[in-house]
Amino acid sequence: MSKKILIVDDDPAVVQFLEEVFADNGYSTAKAFNGAEGLTQVKAFKPDLITLDMDMPEKAGTMFFIGLRKDEALKDTPIIVISGVGPRPPALNKDIPVLTKPVEPAVLLDLVAKILG
């Protein structure tokens, strides 16, 4: 069974790019275009990993992260931040990797493989 990745990003072009990169490498994906939708999707999809943009409408990445960590069943889901925003938000743990847009597919896939084993 393929590993599942939830893509949370408000930019449809970025979401499509990430979906293609992951699908071409054997991962199944789901998508959400803001943090509120992301929290709904994470409960329904139960991903093995989440890619998270930080600057989104409705519920930004930081609020998504805080909401996720409050859910006992989902709080340990690994996250990779993929964002064009500056420094790491204080709410994020230091062990959460941060990639800056535009992301190189090889770098992202290497990181995903390390996290998912």
pLDDT at 112: 98
What CA–CA distance (Å, rounded) separates 62 from 50? 13
92 close to 62: Cβ distance less than 8 angstroms = yes
What CA–CA distance (Å, rounded) separates 101 from 32? 18
Strands (E), 60-114: 79-83, 98-100
pLDDT at 117: 85
**CATH H superfamily, domain 4-116:** Response regulator (3.40.50.2300)
Summarize the confidence of residues 55-72 as an average pLDDT. 86
Q: Is the peptide bond before 57 cis (omega within 30 degrees of 0)?
A: no
- As given in the structure block, the two tokens for residue 11 are 């930019």
Domain extents in the chain? 4-116
47 close to 77: Cβ distance less than 8 angstroms = yes
91 close to 65: Cβ distance less than 8 angstroms = yes
**pLDDT greater at residue 56 or residue 34:** 34
CA 52 to the chain's CA centroid: 3
